[in-house]
Amino acid sequence: MVITEIFKSIQGEGTRAGLPCIFVRVTGCNLRCTWCDTAYAFHGGKKYTVEGVLDAVRALAGEGNGRISLVEITGGEPLLQPETPALAEKLLAEGYTVMIETSGERYVGVLPREVIKIVDVKCPDSGEPDTFDVANLGELDKKDEVKFVIASRRDYEFARDFTASHKLAERVHEVLFSPVFADPEGRWPGLNARELAEWILADSLPVRLGLQLHKFIWDPAMKGV
């Protein structure tokens, strides 16, 4: 596998936000979202065997009662690497709760069922609309989450309509609407979380407002957190 970083942090997103978690960030992505905050994972990286990744996770997770049991495979795009399903399988076999963050463009059915899938649906202002593989809808269930990263009112209306037309709230554990966080270097603007909250409330949507907790705890430009 080609890996950008393996690190321990606080889960920043989704329904497990706030929990200690080991992150495995793979290298490479076939999309180029306008607001991507992990472009440093597009290139480079270091080669690992699956066993080498497991060793690194074990070392960070610790042992005994204090062992961190949550692992997230993220990127980049984890499903571009053929070894990712095998890595997930082995982590599950060692008793970890395994999550994966994916763009939605790759078919998640290659993963073990027990993996908690956080699947993006790209909105128009991402610059990567219409990339979602609709076959993924058949693979998601009540432990999984669908995430829309929202940059504008246009994105919000897309996410709202997609959620309703595919009955997402009934299919998955949680539908997440996350505002784009402004780039610390000013390359793209953010969406005000309050504005998004007010749109959600006005429409009484069955979704969860998602904020990237790690960007409030650490410097938003910091890597490895």
Q: Which residues bind ligand SF4 (CB under 6 A)?
A: 29, 31-33, 36, 38, 75-77, 103
Q: Residue 185 CB, nearest distance to ligand SF4 (Å)?
A: 16
Burial of 52 (0-12, 13-18, 19+ CB in 10 A): middle
For the chain, report the end-to-end CA distance as a whole number of angstroms: 21
Q: Residue 83 CB, nearest distance to ligand SF4 (Å)?
A: 18
Task: Rank residues 80 and 175 by Cβ distance to ligand SF4 and give the closer one.
Answer: 80
Task: Please state, in angstroms and rounded to a whole number, the distance separating the CA atoms of residues 13 and 127.
Answer: 22
Q: Residue 28 CB, nearest distance to ligand SF4 (Å)?
A: 9
Task: Please state, in angstroms and rounded to a whole number, the distance separating the CA atoms of residues 22 and 25.
Answer: 10
SS3 content of the chain, % helix, strand, coil (to 5): 35, 20, 45
Task: Please state, in angstroms and rounded to a whole number, the distance separating the CA atoms of residues 122 and 49.
Answer: 31
Task: Rank residues 15 and 131 by Cβ distance to ligand SF4 and give the closer one.
Answer: 131
Task: Rank residues 38 and 152 by Cβ distance to ligand SF4 and give the closer one.
Answer: 38
Q: Residue 37 CB, nearest distance to ligand SF4 (Å)?
A: 7
Task: Rank residues 5 and 77 by Cβ distance to ligand SF4 and give the closer one.
Answer: 77
